[in-house]
Structure 1
Amino acid sequence: MGKILVTGATGNVGRHVVSQLAEAGLEVRALVRDPARARLPVEMAQGDLNAAETLEPALEDVESVFLLWPSVTAAGADEVIAAIAKHARRVVYLSANVADEPVTHYHEIEQLIRHSGLGWTFLRPGGFAANTLGWAGQIRQGVVRWPYGQASRSLIHEKDIAAVAVHVLTSAGHNGATYILTGPEQLTQAEQVRVIGEAAGREVRWEEQPPEEARDQLMAAWGDPTFVESALRTWDGFVTSPEPVTDTVRRLLGRPALTFRQWARDHAADFS
């Protein structure tokens, strides 16, 4: 098996992809902006997906690429994918399960990959359990004030996303496949807060926030009205139509997906 290049190698998912590939004894190279700060146990190449011209050295002798796009737009993705296609044979792209949304950068990048000549597999996770780290400050205070407490989601552990990526990168039969990835259960946002509190050893209560108030708060934090409206619309929809649960992780890995409670135990220190 040829060398695998991992982008987003210092992030929540990418770091696990790197470590799992390394533990399997495979040739892996991590694309990082600053090798001195990355501290990864594999070969590192300096480069930036926002600057396609920096990728040539990183792509030398690479057969497969794990692609995690770093931006909320597809600007520059055509050049990056063209550079990958010059060197590699296949790409595993960490997309998102946004089928009901208008055209997004995820869709645009998928289309670029489809027409690149590369073999491809798309991973489309739903909600990331790691996104609940955004509540850490409130959880330490004992109250999470947020909208749509009854929005029910099937959040996935980043370790499972990484494990599926590694499986796809290292086994045959996945070219042209799209995999929708979720956790094994549905929990409301209020239930998620309770589970995190139990794992962190503190009592935490949910306080429902009016969406209008949340909109102003999220705009101040995120600065992108389209992203804010999309998030609020998604949470609102999950109140009456919970995020589905898929068995993709079990089918591909031969074991159940990790529960949100397991994720909370793994991250208890982040909320303490």
Structure 2
Amino acid sequence: MATVNHFPKILVTGATGKTGSAVVAQLCENGWPVRAMVRARDARSQRLESLGAETVVADMFDPNQVLDAMQGTRRAYYCPPLHPYMIQSAAAFVAAARQSKLEAIVGLSQWLASPNHPSLHTRQLWLVEQMLSDLPGVAHVTLNPGYFADNYLRLLDFAALLGVFPILTGHSRNAPPSNEDIARVAVALLMDPEGHAGRSYRPTGPQLISAYEMVPIIRKVLRSPVLAINLPLWMFLRTARLQGVSAFELSSFRYYLEDHKQGAFELGAPTDVVQTLTGQPPETFETTVRRYAALPFARRTFANRLRAFINFNRVPFTPGYNLDRFEREQFHPRPPVPQLAMGDLQWQASHSS
């Protein structure tokens, strides 16, 4: 006789993203029924289905589609989209959660979240935390990781193919969490939300490390010489635009680089969150590097080397973004006195305990 799974079904938004896909995979591995919300049917959604997840195509900005996707689920992982109108998505999600009577939500936020930060995305994340925490009868838990390991390692192809590792954060330190460890914490909370309602957890890596201290680890993994280069912001913006990164993403990221240099991600790190909630230590930075080095974009093939060489030589001729003008033209609201994390006494008081 077939066994019946009595676990409540869990909705995962942003299910093809970096943390969302890992949450889906780990929940399925643990035998939990999962409904993965995706933007389109493609190879990524097919992979989630192969893991055992049910997939549903829905527009995260449409209240009716979000409600339809949520029907029949009891818990949810909410991963806000990196989008100028993300708050619309959050409002749609909150309305659907209220109607569907979800019992628990794990919401991905950010270590920097505050009402005063110059980044629109960061201010909106703070608002989303307030919206989710006000849902009656819902056990809401906040995940607020800092600067991900992914933010450094998305530049790993420079090291693997060109022998240089661009550094944007100087000698400031961080204990960068991997996507997988963030997902492990989310999964632990989704599987057992009892006792965590109203709490906030910051998963980190196991040790504080600067980008310059990452370079010897990258050399070891790649088994080849790698030179650290301090990349000016203007050149990074050109490189990022060449790689298809949007102006909105960069309009926030430039502030996060300054937060990093001022020590915002070093404050309170590392934490024991991963070990305490999952029973396993966070993975080392070397472990994360090895996974990225095996990805197609970093493999030392002739095609990849040729692409990297051509793109590297295109950078000086690629226009950068004028991010101040972009924010004005997009009518981004601004706080009266924008404050980075380490200059915001209110943020420091709430994050130093």
TM-score, normalization by structure 2: 0.70
Identical aligned residues as a percent: 28
The answer to whether the 8 Å contact 1:157/1:183 transfers is yes
Q: What 5-or-longer segments of structure 1 have no aligned partner?
A: none
SS at match of 1:164: helix
Q: 1:239 to 1:210 in 2, by over 3 A?
A: farther
The answer to whether the 8 Å contact 1:153/1:243 transfers is no
* Rounded Cα–Cα distance in structure 2 between residues aligned with 1:128 and 1:9: 18
Number of the residue aligned with 1:56? 67
Number of the residue aligned with 2:133? 114
Number of the residue aligned with 1:158? 179
Residue of 14, 26, 29 corresponding to 1:23: 29
Q: 1:64 to 1:126 in 2, by over 3 A?
A: same
Residue of 92, 116, 141 corresponding to 2:162: 141
Q: How big is each residue's C-alpha offset from its partner over 1:2-56, in whole Å with a ceiling of 9 and x where there is no partner?
A: 1100111111111111111111111111111223431112111111212222123
Q: How big is each residue's C-alpha offset from its partner over 1:91-114, in whole Å with a ceiling of 9 and x where there is no partner?
A: 100111115662611101101111
Residue of 5, 12, 16 corresponding to 2:18: 12
Number of the residue aligned with 1:223? 247
- Look up the equivalent residue of 1:64 and give its one-letter code: R
Number of the residue aligned with 1:75? 87
Q: How big is each residue's C-alpha offset from its partner over 1:56-109, in whole Å with a ceiling of 9 and x where there is no partner?
A: 321111100100011244331212211122112221001111156626111011
Residue of 126, 133, 141 corresponding to 2:146: 126
* Rounded Cα–Cα distance in structure 1 between residues aligned with 2:232 and 2:57: 45
SS at match of 2:155: helix
The answer to whether the 8 Å contact 2:8/2:33 transfers is yes
Number of the residue aligned with 1:169? 190
**How many pairs were matched up?**
272
TM-score, normalization by structure 1: 0.90
The answer to whether the 8 Å contact 2:66/2:92 transfers is no
Q: How big is each residue's C-alpha offset from its partner over 1:183-223, in whole Å with a ceiling of 9 and x where there is no partner?
A: 11111112223322321232211012345655676688542
Structure with greater strand percent: 1
Q: 1:165 to 1:230 in 2, by over 3 A?
A: same
Q: How big is each residue's C-alpha offset from its partner over 1:224-267, in whole Å with a ceiling of 9 and x where there is no partner?
A: 47424412312321399567211111111222111111111122
Q: What 5-or-longer segments of structure 2 have no aligned partner?
A: 1-6, 300-353
Number of the residue aligned with 2:105? 91
* Rounded Cα–Cα distance in structure 1 between residues aligned with 2:211 and 2:55: 38
Higher mean alpha-carbon deviation, 261-270 vs 61-70, is at 261-270
